[in-house]
Structures are given as structure tokens and as C-alpha cells.
Amino acid sequence: MSEALVALAAAGGTAVVQAAGTDAWTQVRVRLARLVGRGGVEAERRTLSRLDRTAAELADADAEEIGALRAGHGRAWQARFEMLLSSLPDDEREVVAAELQELVAESQQERPGARNRFEISGGTFHSPVQIAEYIHGTTFNIGPASPSSEGARDRTHSPQEEEGDDGTDPGPAPAGPVR
């Protein structure tokens, strides 16, 4: 198999793991199933099942394992694309390669409504926290990390709490966890 087809298969594997869990996933998975299944109903069903397992495993992955999991799934999909491309006659291989290239190119374009999903659930933080789209049951303690520090002032801070319109501090947030 040519280096160009191997690179295309690798890009296809990357496109699968990048699309999983995004707004574009439903459309991408159907197109990939048709591409890999080549009109076979059972082959398309098996491909959809594999794609769904990939998406589910990536969605359930912990932050520590997501990188390795993405790489593993990307390699697995690359191997599937390589097997598909190498099994086809030259004329059909060119058609399938063009379809895969189109899908890869589309997946690399920014899609309207596409977004990353971040979630923090539970925990207490004593240092800066990055912004997240969803925050549940989390306490943010503003001030020195050690309550024994001189002048320490610990208060709970809601992510929605902002400075007043005149630039003054609106005061402490209500006590208790942010919900």
C-alpha cells in the first residue's frame, strides 16, 4: 500500500476519535459505516457498533487515560481503513480513498455548534480553577490555601459572582457549596 494511503488511513483514524462525542458524530458515524460496509447491511451494522463502542469508551474515559485511549482507538481505526483499502481493486480503492479523504477534510473544518464539553462535579479547590461549561456541587475557596496563614480569609465563591457595575466587590457569596 502506498504511503499516501497509509497517511489517509491514519488521518481517518484521527478523524474518528476527534468526531466522537461532537455535534457532528451522528452524521460522521453513518457515513463511515456506509464507507466501511460498502453496501453490506451486516458490515454497516458491525461498523456502527464499533463506532458506538469507540465513542462510549472515549466519553467514559478519565482525564488520565483519555490520551492513550484516543491514540489506541485512532490506531485501531487506521488499521481498519488500511485493511479496507488494501482489500479493494484499484478502481474501487480510488473511489473509497476519495470518500475517506472528503470525510477527513470535512471533519477538520470547524463546524457551527461544535464545542468541547467540560464538567466539574464535586470537590473543593484552594487555587485557581479553569473555566468549565458545567459546574456541580463544587466549593471554591478564595484566599490562601492554609487557613493558618496570617490574614487568611476563606469564603465560598460562585462562578456567577462578578464585580459590581461600579467596579466594587459585591461582597461574599452565600455560605455553602455552589450548586
pTM for this prediction: 0.60
DSSP string over 78-98:
HHHHHHHHHHS-HHHHHHHHH
Q: Is 8 exposed, middle or buried (0-12, 13-18, 19+ CB in 10 A)?
A: buried
Give Cβ neighbours of residue 138 (< 8 Å, ≥ 6 apart): 120, 121, 122, 123, 124, 125, 177, 178
Looking at residue 143, what is its pLDDT?
A: 57
Residue 54's pLDDT is: 92
At 75 the pLDDT is 94
pLDDT for 179 equals: 46
pLDDT for position 159? 44
Looking at residue 86, its pLDDT comes to 94
Q: How high is the pLDDT of residue 121? A: 57
List, run by run, the mean pLDDT of 10-residue segments along the chain (179 residues): 89 91 87 90 93 92 88 93 93 93 82 49 60 54 53 45 46 49
